Structure 1
Amino acid sequence: MISVERNIVVRLPLAELVTYLEDFARTEEWDPGTVSCVRLDDGPVRTGALWRNTSLFRGRTTELEYRLDVREPTRLVFVGENKTVTAVDDLRFDDEGDLTQLSYKASLAFKGFARPAAPFLRTEFERLADEVAARLPTAAVAGRT
């Protein structure tokens, strides 16, 4: 398993940042690996909502179906799966007035034949986490509701 974590300060109040990030389709705006992310169900975002995320990683395109597993005032957890990996994005929010401290943890558990590759991919996932930390604050402020 690979886990990366970044602490990110975002110049939005907590509720606004949670509202922005709970729509996983917005990963197109802040995740450099995401090519597209489409909601698969209708209605308001709620626990159990589904998205299809298409990502480009090391020159290869992959699709994962994500669901919103936890939706709380200060925490969101998205779980994505396909035949080779389970991905978990765990976002925790701390209110700092007009700012929000976001603890962003992404974990990848490889399955089957892909499992031995995990140690060789850590450096690339660390780089992607750095890019998320750099892009997310600007994207969230630009996409505020």
Structure 2
Amino acid sequence: MVTVQRSITVRRTAAEVLAYLADFGNAVEWDPGTESCARTDAGPIGVGSAWTNVSRFRGRRTTLRYTLERYEEHRLVFVGRNRTVTSTDDMVLHPFPDRTVLVYRAELRFHGPARLAAPFLRPAFERLADGVAERLPQALAEHP
């Protein structure tokens, strides 16, 4: 298993950050690995909402089906799955009067033979997490 975590400060209210992140389709704006992320269901976003995410990682394209598993006032948890990996994105918001601190934690649990590669993939996932920490504040600043 590989786990990466970043604390990201943004100049938006917690409610604005929550609304933006709850639509996982916005990942194309803030996740440097995401090429596309399309919602696969309809209706208001809530627990059970789902997206198909296509990402590029170390030169390879991978597709995961993500589901919003927790939707709380200050926390979102998305779980993405395919036959090789289960990816959990846990986002906790800490509101302040002039900013929100987002604690973003990604946990990747590999299945089958891919488990053997997990320790060697950590540096690449750390760089990806750095990219999220860099892009997310900018994406939120540009979002209406």
TM-score interval w.r.t. the shorter chain?
over 0.9
TM-score, scaled to structure 1: 0.98
Specify the SS of the correspondent of 1:54.
strand
Aligned alpha-carbon RMSD (Å)? 0.6
Are residues 1:138 and 2:138 paired? yes
Q: Which amino acid aligns with 2:119?
A: P
Q: Deviations over 1:27-46 (max 9, x none)?
A: 00000000000000001101
Q: Deviations over 1:8-34 (max 9, x none)?
A: 001101000100000000000000000
Residue 24 of structure 1 corresponds to: 24
Residue 84 of structure 1 corresponds to: 84
Matches within 5 A, 1:114-125: 114-125=114-125
Residue 46 of structure 1 corresponds to: 46
Residue 95 of structure 2 corresponds to: 95
Q: Which amino acid aligns with 1:54?
A: V
**Identical residues among aligned pairs (%):** 53
Residue 113 of structure 1: how far off its partner (Å) = 1.1
Q: Deviations over 1:82-117 (max 9, x none)?
A: 000000000000111131000000000000011100
Q: Which amino acid aligns with 2:125?
A: F
Q: Which amino acid aligns with 1:106?
A: A
Distance in 1, Cα, partners of 2:89 & 2:62? 17
Residue 55 of structure 1 corresponds to: 55
Residue 127 of structure 2 corresponds to: 127
Q: Which amino acid aligns with 1:138?
A: Q
Distance in 2, Cα, partners of 1:125 & 1:28? 17
Q: Which runs of 4 or more aligned residues in structure 1 lie more than 6 Å from their structure 2 counterparts after TM superposition?
A: none
Ranges in structure 2 where 5+ consecutive residues have no aligned partner: none
Q: Deviations over 1:32-78 (max 9, x none)?
A: 00000000000110100000000000110000000000000000000
Distance in 2, Cα, partners of 1:92 & 1:125? 19
Distance in 2, Cα, partners of 1:51 & 1:143? 20
Residue 15 of structure 2 corresponds to: 15
TM-score, scaled to structure 2: 0.99
